[in-house]
Structure formats: C-alpha cells, structure tokens
Structure 1
C-alpha cells in the first residue's frame, strides 16, 4: 500500500478532472476520491484532509470552467459573422442558432467557427481522454 502523500497530487488531478467532466457535487466527488484511493491501494487519509482536497479541486475546476466560458464570450464578441446570422437574433439580441453545448466547453469542439479559436490548454488532461 502507498501512503496518501505519495498519491495526493495524482488524486487531486483526478478529482479536478472528475469535477470538470461531470459537474458532480461535493458528496459525489468525495465518493469518487475514496473509490480511487481504494482501487489504487492508497491508505485513506483523515476525513478532513480528503474533504479539503475535494473542495479545493472542485473550486479549481469551477474557476477553470468559468475562465473558459469568459474566454469563449470574448471570442464570440470578436468573431465576424455572416449577414444572415446577424439578422437572426432573439429578443435580447443574442444569436438564435449560435450556441455552445456544455459538452463543447468540457473538451469537445465548439459549434461553428469558434472551435479553432478556443484554447483548451488549461483544461484538465482527463477531459480529452476516455472514461
């Protein structure tokens, strides 16, 4: 069995990627962390240690998601759109058929011409790999 200190950094990355990919709450992320520790033969730390790690990594994933969405919003402001799209706005002035799905922001491509403009450099690596 490995001690928690030797696996803490890897677990933190796994929990952050899990929170990013699933949007799970603290309880589900905590259960994921315990399951990962058991599957990888790591001694379980105290509950407060693991709770702090999960809270920290969920907050980090949320902040990174927010930063990605803010960057996406900036990109949509500078993209030149064809006239037919500019005429297709809803009551609030938003483009009716230009949309980004949640899965797009979490690692897949963004609809239309925005895909090549978004940097996913800060996206957790696990977001691009399979389950």
Structure 2
C-alpha cells in the first residue's frame, strides 16, 4: 500500500493539487449498494438503468464523494486531514465502465482555523465534467 502525504498547514499553498483516477466497475457499484442499502434499480440493474434512459448501470452519487474523501485523505493534505464539509453537484451520470479522474486544488487557506478549501472535480474518459464540488478540511498538523 502506498504511503499517504502528510502535509502540515504551513506546508499547504493555494494552487496545490492532487489527482486520483478510478475505473468504475459494476462490482464497485454493487458493493456500495450493499454497503449503503441503496439498491435503487438504476444502480443495481443495467436493464432498469437503460429503461430509464441511461447508457448503463449508474453509480451512486456518494461514490464520487468517497473518492473525493480519498483524494483529501491521501494527498490534500493527506494523513493530517479532517474533512469537515463536502458538497457536490452531479452534472452527468457516472456509469459502470467509466474511468473518472478526480482532481482537487487548494483554493483558500484559512489561517485562523487552520483549514483549507479544496475545489473538486471529476472528469470522465470522454473529457466531460461529471461532478464538481468543494470541501472544507481542517489540517491537523
């Protein structure tokens, strides 16, 4: 297992960035359905997703939030992260078979609280932004 970053607040800077690439599989989506209890038909049955007008099995929105959390907890700032707030806007469905590049960029440093604001985005293999968001993270070191 690769080691995580562990930046302290004083080592963080506006514009600092991280990237996490994830291939989304039906197994990943089904596993999250089992974990969360959300077995909505478009998430667990490709035929239901297609009947609803999607090109395939649709990933849960919270899956992208999990990957944003992983990006923060492993890279921005890494081990010293405490995620306080995470907001997301889902622009397009993420489907089984998609490869999504999740990116985070430090947008603000809040010295009085030792927090950072991270702008987040996810782009699929077609160059389409599928999710955007923002996180407030306390840097504990």
> Would you say same fold, with TM above 0.5?
no
Structure richer in helix, relative to its length:
1
Give the TM-score normalised by the residue count of structure 1: 0.29
Which structure would you say has the larger Rg?
1
Report the structure, 1 or 2, having the larger strand content.
Answer: 2
